[in-house]
Structure formats: structure tokens, C-alpha cells
Amino acid sequence: MAKQKKSELKTIKIFDTTLRDGEQSPGASMNIEEKLRIAKHLQKLNVDVIEAGFPIASEGDFEAVKKVAQTIKGPEIAGLCRSGFKDIDRGWEALQYAGEKGRIHTFIATSDIHMKYKLKMTPSQVLDAAVKAVKRAKSYTPNVEFSCEDAVRTDLKFLGEVVGAVIDAGATTVNIPDTVGYTIPFEYFNIITYLKENVANIDNAVISVHCHNDLGLSVANSIAAVQAGAGQVECTINGIGERAGNCSLEEFVMTLKTRGDILPFKTNVVTEQLTPASRLLTTVTGIVVQPNKAIVGANAFAHEAGIHQHGVLMEKSTYEIMTPESVGLKTNVLVLGKHSGRHAFKKRLEELGYELSDEMLNKAFERFKALADLKKEVYDEDLDAIVTDEELLRAEEKYMLSHITVTCGSFAVATATVQMEIDGTPCRTAELGDGPVDATLKAIKKLTKTKAKLTQYNVGSITGGTDAQGEVTVRLADGERTVIGRGSSTDIIEASAKAYIHGLNRLALKKDRVTDSL
């Protein structure tokens, strides 16, 4: 089949919900600054809609949606609201700064199981609430999206009735979500087809789909829905989200781009920004992408088998269905070296999606130079680690690491001597442990007098080789506050200390903010 001309392809809107549904992943909570940073990269990606949060959920979420609405230009800015008027009013209070680009996204569950056990409402009550919610939202903006929560487990006749009613009430987008990741492509295709054929006013609104990945079918289901007539797909970077996650933005977009021969669709996404977006999200949340993840995983363009290597050397298309460059992955793995200057360093960071202040750039450049003297090659992943290590309001650090001395061995008890600065005051102690990392973290805990609990510790190599940087990610919990700490170094003990201290600083910062707000 001949590949269709790009002008003949139907454009599918990309509704990114990384900042809302994606943030609901355990451990993926983001502060306002982090949300804004992700939003700026979504602007670079050129997504059509950014769902910035759930305004009524918390004061922080409200302020984040407001800040994104005030700052981001280009994409529409959406906020999720339940069907109650209080939710909708609060939502528009934050979204109003986006003007005509502001979108109220309101919803109510429509499946029998949700209506009976969660809402304790009859179908007629749910229908009435849906219509009233849309009319309330419509009083603020013509840009209204309505979602039938748990649509795929909803009686089809009732689903069609609700969809028709909310379109009559003014909804310009109707979302048919697979809230619990239950459907399969054939079934989902039939659900969208049913609505297209049985809802008289369906052409007056864009059909949107929002698929979860509980059965690993979110991307496949989204494609099936588009084939049936959906015009918007709701997804997240790296597929993060509730439980098993959401439809992966990069996988869906690249499927359409790669299979234009049989899928007559396109998106407005700048695909060269996909890899930088993926890395940025990992940096902010600490949620690492699995190596074999499609499109953005470390092995997505790696070839180890001899036959594959030979084929790729002869002709890349033998084993690559897309180019690394098309998703923003540079073929030259060596990014910079010890002879590189500040300008080149800054430019490469910008290509990776980082916008640093002059002070932060200077600190990161110093770290880069020091690393370049230790390593033969400096990779993009090394730069990600450097920036992460220097980020997150270093100027407000309560705790700073000065140096570590560790002794250990097969017949010796591990001992760590740690010197730190706490609020600018030098302090030092030594501790024994069940290993060098345990001893080091015990010493830091003793110096800081922290009561935070270390709930997760992960260590990995950022790049290959014996001179590779080690990267450590920790999760710390102190009461209801949970944070991610990250650290990197060619010395894994130092990386562990940095990650632990990074987490303690984030906890201290959160505590200060709570105190300031009281």
C-alpha cells in the first residue's frame, strides 16, 4: 500500500496528562517548579492540550495549574474537575489565565459498578449531574470536555444517552476513558463505532480516549479508537500514571508516524523532543525508564547480536524501523570532553531540555569539567546526572557534604567518617555499619538528627565502562512527606551520600514551606 501524503492525513490531537494522571503514580509527586519545567517541555513537544492538574485537590495543585496557565503559550491548558459546582468554579479560577486556551475538563462515573458502589446514584441522577456540570463549565468557557468515567464498563445505550446530552449542553470534547485498563482493541473499536453511529449529535464534538495500561494494551486500544473515529488521545510521557500507567505518548505518536502506510493519521508533536522529554521526567520524578521500553528505553536503538549489527552496518532499515534522530536521540554518543567550552556545554544542555540560571550553569560546568578529567567519555546521561545533582534549589540547602572517608574489607568492619556543613556549621562523626554505604548513611543520619525513614534505595550505572558514574536514587519518608533524592559520582559511596543528603534537603525545604504557609 502506498504511503499517504502528509496533507491527506487526519490530525489527532494529543492531550498530555503527565502533570495530572501521571503525577498520580506512586512517588511521582511534583512541586510547582517541577510541574512548570515539564510544562515548558510539553510546549516544545507541541502537544495540543496540557492537563496541568486537579485544581481543587490541594492548594499546591491549584497554584501549579494557575502558574502553567499564566506561563505556557501555544497548547490549551486543562484542569480536571468533578461534576460539582465547587470543583468547576475552583477550576476556572486557576484556568482563567489561559484565556480562550483554558479548558475545563469535568467528569462523572457512568458504569453500573461506579454508580452503585461509589456514587450511590441512579442513572437519571448521574445524567442530570453531567448536564448541569457541563452547563456550569460552559458559563465560564466554550472549551469544555466531559468524561464518562469507566466508560468501557458502561451500558452502551446509557453511554450514548449521556454523550448526546452533554454535547447538547455544550461539551466540545467527549472523553470515553478506559479508566481501569479493562478493554481490548476490538471491543474499544466497537464502542467508539457505536457512538459514531447512534449518537445523533456526535459530530458536534471531538471524541477523546484515555486508556490505562493494566493489561498492557493502552497504546493498542488508543490506536483502535482512532481508527474508529476518535480525534484526541490522552496520554503521558513514559506512560506514567495510576497503577500500570497510561497510554505512552511517545509510543502512540511514533506508531502513527512510522505506520503512515496503513494508519492515515498524524499528530503535531515534534518527535525530536521525545527523548529529552523522557529524560527530563525521569530526572524530576526519579522513576527510571526500563531499558527495553519502546522508543525511549536505553536499548531501543541498541544492537548486540552479530547478525543485527551486520545488517545495521549495511543498511539501518534492516533492523531499525525509525531513526534515533527522529526521537531526539543523537547518534554521536560522545557529547562533550574536557576541552569543551562553556558555550558548547550550555547549548548541549538546552538540547537536552535544561534551562539553567547563570549560577546553576556555572556550578554544573564545574562538575562537568571535574568529571571530564576522570572519564574518557562524557555522555548525555552523565549530563542529566550532573544537572540533577546541582538542581533543586541548591542555594537553599540546609545540609552540605564536605568529604567522606571509608575503610572496609573482607575482615574489617566498615567504618565511615563523614564531614558536613549543617546551616553553614561544620560537623563531623564516624559510624560503623554492615557495609560502606550503611556506615556512611548512619553517620549522616547521626549528624543531621533526621527521623526520616529510608524506604527505597536503588543504584545503577549511568553509562558503560569501569569509569562510569554510579547513580543512586533513594526515597525518604518523614510522616506524610515523601521525597526522592538522587546523587551521582564515579564513587558509589559518594553517590549514595549525595542522594541521601539531597533527599534530606528536599524534606527540609518541604517542611519550611509548610511552616511558612501556617
What is the pLDDT, as a whole number, of residue 28? Answer: 80
More confident residue, 336 or 259: 259
Instruction: Output the CA torsion sign for 284, 287, 288, 294.
Output: negative
Q: Name the binding residues for Mn(2+).
A: 21, 210, 212, 246
CATH topology match: 6-285 vs 394-517: no
Tens of pLDDT, residues 292-318: 888 888 776 654 334 444 453 456 556
Instruction: Output the CA torsion sign for 382, 386, 387, 392.
Output: positive
Number of residues assigned to the chain: 518
Tens of pLDDT, residues 327-357: 877 653 334 666 667 777 887 787 776 778 8
As given in the structure block, the three cell numbers for residue 343 are: 558555550
- The rounded distance, in Å, linking the Cα atoms of 235 and 245 is 9
Domain 6-285: give its CATH architecture: Alpha-Beta Barrel (3.20)
As given in the structure block, the three cell numbers for residue 202 are: 456526535
- The rounded distance, in Å, linking the Cα atoms of 310 and 316 is 10
Q: Which of 289, 278, 241, 287 is nearest to 23 (CA)?
A: 241
Q: Which of 25-34, 308-317, 393-402, 482-491 has the lowest mean pLDDT?
A: 308-317
Do 54 and 62 contact (CB within 8 A), yes or no?
no
What is the pLDDT, as a whole number, of residue 330? Answer: 62
Q: What are the structural domain ranges in the chain? A: 6-285, 301-331, 333-390, 394-517
- DSSP string for residues in 432-500: EESSHHHHHHHHHHHHHT---EEEEEEEEESSSSTTPPEEEEEEEEETTEEEEEEEEESSHHHHHHHHH
Tens of pLDDT, residues 2-39: 556 666 799 999 999 999 999 888 778 888 999 999 99
CATH code for residues 394-517: 3.30.160.270
Q: Name the binding residues.
A: 21, 210, 212, 246
pLDDT (average), residues 203-218:
98
Going by pLDDT thresholds of 50, 70 and 90, the confidence category of residue 272 is: very high
Tens of pLDDT, residues 426-470: 999 999 999 999 999 999 999 999 999 998 898 887 666 666 778
